[in-house]
Chains A and B, each alone.
Chain A
Amino acid sequence: MSLVTEPFAYEFFRQGLFASVLVGALCGMLGVYIILRRMSYIGHGLSHSVFGGAVVGYVASINFYLAAGLWGFLSALAINATARRRRIGADAAIGIITTASFAIGVALISKTRSFTRNFEAALFGNILGVTPTDLIIVAVVTIAVAAFILLFYKPLLFMTFDVEVAPIYGVNIGVVDSLFALAMAATIVASINVVGVTLIAATLVIPSTTARLLTDSFGRMIVISTIIGAVAGVLGMYVSYWLDISSGATIVLLEAAGFLVVFVATTVTRRRRSWTEQPVSTLVHDRTGDDLG
């Protein structure tokens, strides 16, 4: 029992736990839309973009959240606009914009080496460094994104399912898509201190992909993915404390392990089910196949 209660004595642990639960849930929730819209690469790219914005903000001594958030949002809009030109694929647009942003960050860091440490934290996450301000930001972003998903549940679902037909039924794609880009940029900026630029994509993609294996209903997928993210946040903090390893990496590794278990379990049960339900003719067919082989 003390293994569970002991770390609570430390303020950094309580704050870290709070932050990682929220970030896990937040990324799990938004990740559902990201994988269903096949935007995983955008998530990955945007976190790199945000890094560039953060460095520029630091150098120009602008507030981190303002600079990184604005930069991320503008990058998302720029990706949308570039990808709409028919001769440029969305993947290429993402590659150009986000990598260039990241390169700006790297260039500025290499010029002024004095703050390398901070940015190592930004790259790999440093939950020990979570400040009360960070916590407030994470909480506000989580509440705002949850409210967005709840209030825009219907148009978001329609747009995610069929972006061609949704406007015919009156969904304003421009508005919903821009708000979604904003939610994504905010989520990434809020998560950077906990999981780091390099690991954010995983926290967006793994819980939602795992949830997809567990249900065929969109509504249930969001709930399951959010829970997986939050649970991974809690367990990740503890495992990271006990084993003294990086919190971001621990959360991602736990999520990956969870995915593996679910993947194997669902594959086995599906195969067993299809085996028992296999019609006789198929079995016969299989045998003739063997004979021929």
Chain B
Amino acid sequence: MGATQSAPDRALVEFEGVTCGYDGEPVLRDVDLAIPRGGFVGIVGPSGAGKTTLLRSIVGVVPRVEGRITVGGRIVGRGATPGVGWVPQLETVDWQFPATVREVVLMGRWAERRWRAWASKDDRQRVDRLLDRLGIGGLADRHIRQLSGGQQQRVFLARAMIGDPSLLLLDEPTSGVDLKTRDDILHLLAELNADGITIVLTTHELNTVAAHLPWVVCVNGRVIAEGDPDQIFTSAILGRTYGADLRVVRQDGIILVADAAPHRLRDALRHRHDGFEHAHHEHVGPDHEHRESDGAPPS
């Protein structure tokens, strides 16, 4: 395989006819995908569509039925994929676990001097430098629970980056965090991307996350479409991805995707009429809708 050394313009991650899944049941079929070096890619799709499976297959932890995946020209197989950092969904982290920020970040470097239990001076300095760079310097000896949502996300970002990866994979990095944190995280990722790190993330937030990314892959059991959201966020493509009636509104370079189902539409309308909200009465909908919440039947 030495002959296929990656040319500069060659894609960093390549899926060639990949079918993969768990327990012999494919979650994704016939995926052909190329993620360029330096790319910033979002994967969108409904729940259970295979977003996370697509991400996990890049690091070789999803059993493959057919096809092959390469990262930097190397075929992904069993064992770790070198040069890749993984950031899990924050909701999956056990926050009661007794671990300091430093202990968590150093997990990302476990394979260096793997038989040595304690951290070297070099390890400690690397952690300190990285935490400074990510804006959470001085928190190394805190317990992971004693941090804000944004700081917690940065800790796991630091664990992914301690091995100097060229590719960062993030599973729903903006789920479960507040608006400001979400923007902070996206800006931080954009900075890292500007430093040359390729970034691939999954998200279920079309308007607030995916629409701002330069490249988006729509997934539902297979790749439905990929491209610049300006081009591929259309009712037809999103409808096929989500199996729902979605409307796409474009105004002043802003893309807004709205679910035509009533409850989702109401949320979307609130976004559109943001600022006018206070000029209106609270009771927009029919009265009985408001009683629903407090009119729970006595048990």
* Shortest beta-carbon distance from A88 to chain B in Å: 15
B97: Cβ under 8 A from any A Cβ: yes
**A160 partner residues in chain B, CB cutoff 8 A:** 97
Pick from A151, A165, A216, A218: contact of B88, CB under 8 Å: A165
Proximity string of chain B (97-112) to chain A, C-beta cutoff 8 Å, 1 when within and 0 when not: 1111001101110110
| A interface, size bucket | 20 to 34
A154: Cβ under 8 A from any B Cβ: yes
B212: Cβ under 8 A from any A Cβ: no
B283: Cβ under 8 A from any A Cβ: no
Proximity string of chain A (11-43) to chain B, C-beta cutoff 8 Å, 1 when within and 0 when not: 000000000000000000000000010000000
A162 touching B98, Cβ below 8 Å: no
Pick from A36, A153, A171: contact of B97, CB under 8 Å: A36
Number of B interface residues in the complex (CB < 8 A): 28
CA separation between A94 and B16, bound complex, in Å? Answer: 42
**B116 partner residues in chain A, CB cutoff 8 A:** 153-154
A161 touching B59, Cβ below 8 Å: no
CA separation between A78 and B88, bound complex, in Å? Answer: 30
A154 touching B88, Cβ below 8 Å: no
B86: Cβ under 8 A from any A Cβ: yes
B117: Cβ under 8 A from any A Cβ: yes
**B117 partner residues in chain A, CB cutoff 8 A:** 149-151, 153-154
- Quick one: closest A residue to B58, CB to CB? A168
* Shortest beta-carbon distance from B82 to chain A in Å: 9
A217 touching B111, Cβ below 8 Å: no
B143 touching A154, Cβ below 8 Å: no
B98 touching A158, Cβ below 8 Å: no
Where chain A touches its partner, the secondary structure class is helix
* Shortest beta-carbon distance from B164 to chain A in Å: 14
A155 touching B110, Cβ below 8 Å: yes
B248: Cβ under 8 A from any A Cβ: no
A217 touching B99, Cβ below 8 Å: yes
B80: Cβ under 8 A from any A Cβ: yes
A167: Cβ under 8 A from any B Cβ: yes
B94: Cβ under 8 A from any A Cβ: yes
Interface centre among B98, B100, B118 (most CB of A within 10 A): B98
**A171 partner residues in chain B, CB cutoff 8 A:** 110
- Quick one: closest B residue to A212, CB to CB? B98
B94 touching A161, Cβ below 8 Å: yes
A157: Cβ under 8 A from any B Cβ: yes
B110 touching A215, Cβ below 8 Å: no
B79: Cβ under 8 A from any A Cβ: yes
B111 touching A36, Cβ below 8 Å: no
CA separation between A36 and B104, bound complex, in Å? Answer: 15
**B56 partner residues in chain A, CB cutoff 8 A:** 168
B103 touching A219, Cβ below 8 Å: yes
**B145 partner residues in chain A, CB cutoff 8 A:** 216
| A161 and B104 contact, Cβ closer than 8 Å, known pairs A154-B117, A170-B79, A170-B80 | yes
Within 8 A of B (CB), among A238-286: none
**A168 partner residues in chain B, CB cutoff 8 A:** 56, 59, 61, 80, 86
Interface centre among A153, A166, A169, A171 (most CB of B within 10 A): A169
Within 8 A of B (CB), among A211-249: 212, 215-219, 221
**A166 partner residues in chain B, CB cutoff 8 A:** 107
B115: Cβ under 8 A from any A Cβ: yes
A164 touching B98, Cβ below 8 Å: no
B114: Cβ under 8 A from any A Cβ: yes
* Shortest beta-carbon distance from B71 to chain A in Å: 13
A157 touching B98, Cβ below 8 Å: no
**A153 partner residues in chain B, CB cutoff 8 A:** 116-117
Within 8 A of A (CB), among B50-81: 56, 59, 61, 79-80
**A218 partner residues in chain B, CB cutoff 8 A:** 97-100, 103
Within 8 A of B (CB), among A130-173: 149-151, 153-155, 157-158, 160-162, 164-172
**A161 partner residues in chain B, CB cutoff 8 A:** 94, 97, 99, 104, 107
Known: A157-B99, A168-B80. 4 other contacts (CB 8 A): A158-B107, A161-B104, A169-B86, A170-B111
Supply 20 A–B pairs (Cβ within 8 Å), ascending by A: A150-B117, A151-B115, A154-B106, A154-B111, A155-B114, A157-B103, A160-B97, A162-B93, A162-B94, A164-B88, A168-B59, A168-B80, A169-B86, A170-B79, A170-B110, A170-B111, A171-B110, A215-B98, A216-B145, A218-B103
